[in-house]
Structure 1
Amino acid sequence: METLPENDTFSALLIGFMGVVIFMLLYFFQSSRKKDSTSVSSIDEKSNWNAEKNGKQSSKSASQPSAKQPKPTTKKDAKSPQFTHEWLACTLKGHTGNVLDIDFSPNGKYLISCDDDRSCFLWFTKDWSVRKAVSSVKVPLQLDHGSRVAFSPDSKAFIVNLYNSRSLAVYKLARSTDDPARKTPLTVSHLSEFQHQDPGDPAELLSLGVASTGGFVMTCYSDTRIKLWSRRGDHLATIDTCHMTNCMAAVSPCGRFVASCGFTPDVKVWEVSLDKSGSGLSGPPARAFELKGHNAQVDGLAFSADSTRMATASKDTTWKLWNIDVRYKLGEDPKLLVTGRFRRDGLCRIALSPDARCVAIATGVSVTVYSCLDASQLAQFSGLHQGAGVSRALFHPRAQFLVTCGSDRHMPVLLNVPGARAAIADCAAKAKSTQSRAQREMFEQELAETRAFLAGHGVATGEAAG
């Protein structure tokens, strides 16, 4: 085979190398031109966009005054309390979630509240004045939130339903002795806990109550069940209400009765008898009596402080006051005392003042107060809560305040001026008509205390001059 000379081989390699170099230079030159053109295009587009934006801003500035524009409403601003009223004593603020339930201690010194953000708050009612800051104790709930709360009869403990774990946790109140400089004199500690519902149970806990005797704890569910428990968490009894679905249940202040209402138009009341030890039942709960008179679902019920009166509110837009101080064991039926009408805006709740002189009906975003003497409207408070509205209304044990909670983080504390004025009129009439000196002195003392309460908050008594 014939081979190329050495000089010819070197020339061929040199020509090949120069060809590769020329190709690479042409490639990089073309790439650089594309990049430059892209950059210029991007700059031109950005410049055009800025010019259009500046033009829009200039035209907007020319059409509007140069005053400072208000900031957009934030979620925090939307949660701020909007309700104002001349009878608003104060607003309880501190929760970071929507408040779900409230309850007063029997001695009237505390209010307990729970929210959907894993905390409870213990409030001191002595601070409920427009001239004082309201003090409270925050109680964190670990990895859960409370949906219902209830105080113990001695006002030294409270029970909270833990929504996710479906258990009842007991918290104890104690005086703080280690740090005298504490802002609040109480400490709250976890005492015990027991499960009241199976994890797979679809029913929701609607109501929670504790008997004044301390003999049992009541839980009411969204199906037809009411369960009774001992203080240690032992299951005592289950009641089938036969309401088809329950709306709520309550334990009477005397601790003898458990009442329920629901889809059916009647209210059912059971008597709960304890054994001699006071920690168990002497027998199954027995049906005591029923309240019949509504024509539709009964949304709510409430007892008076002495357990002789009951108030009910129904889907038929009527509320009723009943005398339940009857000999039901002899077949005597409760007596209907008053029937009134109200405007219903969805599910309603009713609160009866401890002295049974007025009722408060919460429905929608309003609470209306009615007289238990003639069913007349005494006052109406609108716009108390944002969102879904008022979920609970509760009178102070001494009938001085009315507190509500709803679908926001704040709780308005209202002076119970309608109830105080009704009490003044009632006591004045009874003091004038009674023949008993002891009763007259009792009514006059109540008159003086009620007048002093209103005067202390700068509110007129509503009595006619002279």
Structure 2
Amino acid sequence: MKDRRSFRINVDYDHAVRVRWTPDGSALVVFKYNEGRIEFYKVDKVGNWFQNPTKQSSFPRAHTDDIVGFGVAPSGKYLITCTNKTEMVVWDAHGNVLEKIDTFLINTYSAKISPCGKFIAACGFTSDVPIWEVRFDKSGEFQSVQKAFNLNGHKAGIFDIAFDRDTSKAVTVCKDGTWKIFNINIEYYKGESARCLKSGTYEQTSAAALVAISPLGKVVAIATGKSIQIFSVSSGSLEGTIENVCLGQITAIKFDPTGKCLLVCADRYIRIFHNIPEFKTALEIPEGRLKQT
């Protein structure tokens, strides 16, 4: 494409290992590897493109270990950083530490913020996934981070976790070759537990598995090494496999907001695949209702 353009920001004396946009799209948030700190880079949008990147702020260093979790809440009220040990920090947008959390996972493999911004999840060496609620009062002031519930049922450590668009379902992928879908639209404050809706198995490799669930919660994608397996949430069956996606290993997978495409990061490229199983499973539901009728 002749009109294809790029936008470059130089990070002083370091390199970024995590990058996120702020919810309003006005700044990039990066985590610097050597310094172990967060920096904000404000950008101006002129016409349909970005210009004039300027460093807006730099957070104090909070970690000395490698980062496995980094995210910005959809509201922009808080951020999280989480190490591969057990330390997670919740920050406000000005670099103040709101809360420090011990994940009690021995080793943490992944940590994420739910799409609704209400929950933080972490998974790792143990077979349970703790979920915390981040609480703000009616005026928007931070109150606390409280344990909400666990995702239980696996028999080994959990590689990764993902949420659907409305945070009603969560999917986990385990070291023992299984994956599970949980209903997390629950009254946990009344003691209700998350319920496993569907469980399945995936083909393992020597690489740690990554998982993503489509926004409407119809299909699950699991990446292992160079390949991707896609499963139906309703039936748990394998709907398709994408073999040899890359030369190295897949480092990230994510569905686009519409669920029509699956984005795969590997070999310094982002590859985009049509999510055909989503359309197939979308047809299965009304076809099943017709048979019942």
Taking structure 1 as the reference length, the TM-score comes to 0.59
1:139 and 2:1 are equivalent in the alignment: no
> 1:8-48 CA deviation, whole Å, 9 max, x = no partner?
xxxxxxxxxxxxxxxxxxxxxxxxxxxxxxxxxxxxxxxxx
Structure 1 letter corresponding to 2:264: T
Q: What is the rounded CA distance, in whole Å, between the counterparts of 1:325 and 1:244 in structure 2?
A: 28
1:271 and 2:133 are equivalent in the alignment: yes
Q: What is the rounded CA distance, in whole Å, between the counterparts of 2:239 and 2:72 in structure 1?
A: 31
Aligned residue runs from structure 1 range 317-328, under 5 A:
317-328=177-188
Contact 2:168–2:185 (8 Å) recurs in 1: yes
Aligned residue runs from structure 1 range 32-111, under 5 A:
none
Q: What is the rounded CA distance, in whole Å, between the counterparts of 2:156 and 2:80 in structure 1?
A: 25
Counterparts in 2 of 1:358 and 1:136: CA distance versus 1, 3 Å: farther
Task: Return the match for 2:272 from 406, 410, 413.
Answer: 413
Counterparts in 2 of 1:420 and 1:171: CA distance versus 1, 3 Å: farther
Contact 2:42–2:56 (8 Å) recurs in 1: no
Q: What displacement does 1:428 show?
A: 6.0
Q: What is the rounded CA distance, in whole Å, between the counterparts of 1:427 and 1:400 in structure 2?
A: 19
Contact 1:172–1:190 (8 Å) recurs in 2: yes
Structure 2 letter corresponding to 1:360: A
Structure 2 letter corresponding to 1:368: Q
Q: What is the rounded CA distance, in whole Å, between the counterparts of 2:7 and 2:200 in structure 1?
A: 40
Contact 1:300–1:350 (8 Å) recurs in 2: yes
1:148 equivalent in structure 2: 18
Task: Point out the more displaced range, 164-173 or 338-347.
Answer: 164-173
Q: What displacement does 1:315 show?
A: 0.1
Q: What displacement does 1:275 show?
A: 3.4
Q: What is the rounded CA distance, in whole Å, between the counterparts of 2:60 and 2:212 in structure 1?
A: 27
Higher relative contact order (CA 8 A, sep 6+): 1
Q: What displacement does 1:330 show?
A: 0.8
1:287 equivalent in structure 2: 147
> 1:397-451 CA deviation, whole Å, 9 max, x = no partner?
1112111113x22221111122232224335656x69x9xxxxxxxxxxxxxxxx
Task: Point out the more displaced range, 135-144 or 343-352.
Answer: 135-144
Q: What is the rounded CA distance, in whole Å, between the counterparts of 2:52 and 2:210 in structure 1?
A: 30
1:382 and 2:246 are equivalent in the alignment: no
SS in 2 for 1:139: coil
1:253 and 2:115 are equivalent in the alignment: yes
> 1:63-95 CA deviation, whole Å, 9 max, x = no partner?
xxxxxxxxxxxxxxxxxxxxxxxxxxxxxxxxx
Bigger Rg, which one: 1
Q: What is the rounded CA distance, in whole Å, between the counterparts of 2:277 and 2:75 in structure 1?
A: 32
SS in 1 for 2:284: helix
Q: What is the rounded CA distance, in whole Å, between the counterparts of 2:277 and 2:60 in structure 1?
A: 40
2:285 equivalent in structure 1: 426
Instruction: Give the structure with the larger helix fraction.
Output: 1
User: Identity over the aligned pairs, expressed in percent?
Assistant: 31
1:363 equivalent in structure 2: 224
1:208 equivalent in structure 2: 70
Counterparts in 2 of 1:303 and 1:134: CA distance versus 1, 3 Å: farther
Q: What is the rounded CA distance, in whole Å, between the counterparts of 1:418 and 1:134 in structure 2?
A: 30
Instruction: Give the structure with the larger strand fraction.
Output: 2
2:99 equivalent in structure 1: 237
2:209 equivalent in structure 1: 348
2:32 equivalent in structure 1: 162
Task: Point out the more displaced range, 377-386 or 236-245.
Answer: 377-386
1:336 equivalent in structure 2: 196
C-alpha root-mean-square deviation of aligned residues, in Å?
Answer: 2.3
Q: What is the rounded CA distance, in whole Å, between the counterparts of 1:383 and 1:316 in structure 2?
A: 22
2:46 equivalent in structure 1: 176
Q: What displacement does 1:162 show?
A: 1.1
Q: Which runs of 5+ in 1 are unaligned?
A: 1-130, 178-183, 436-466
SS in 2 for 1:137: coil
Q: What displacement does 1:133 show?
A: 7.1
Taking structure 2 as the reference length, the TM-score comes to 0.92
Q: What displacement does 1:188 show?
A: 5.7
Counterparts in 2 of 1:314 and 1:188: CA distance versus 1, 3 Å: farther
Aligned residues: 292
Contact 2:20–2:28 (8 Å) recurs in 1: yes
Q: What is the rounded CA distance, in whole Å, between the counterparts of 2:256 and 2:268 in structure 1?
A: 20
Structure 1 letter corresponding to 2:275: N
Task: Return the match for 2:161 from 273, 278, 301.
Answer: 301
SS in 2 for 1:140: coil
Q: What is the rounded CA distance, in whole Å, between the counterparts of 1:169 and 1:190 in structure 2?
A: 11
Counterparts in 2 of 1:135 and 1:422: CA distance versus 1, 3 Å: farther
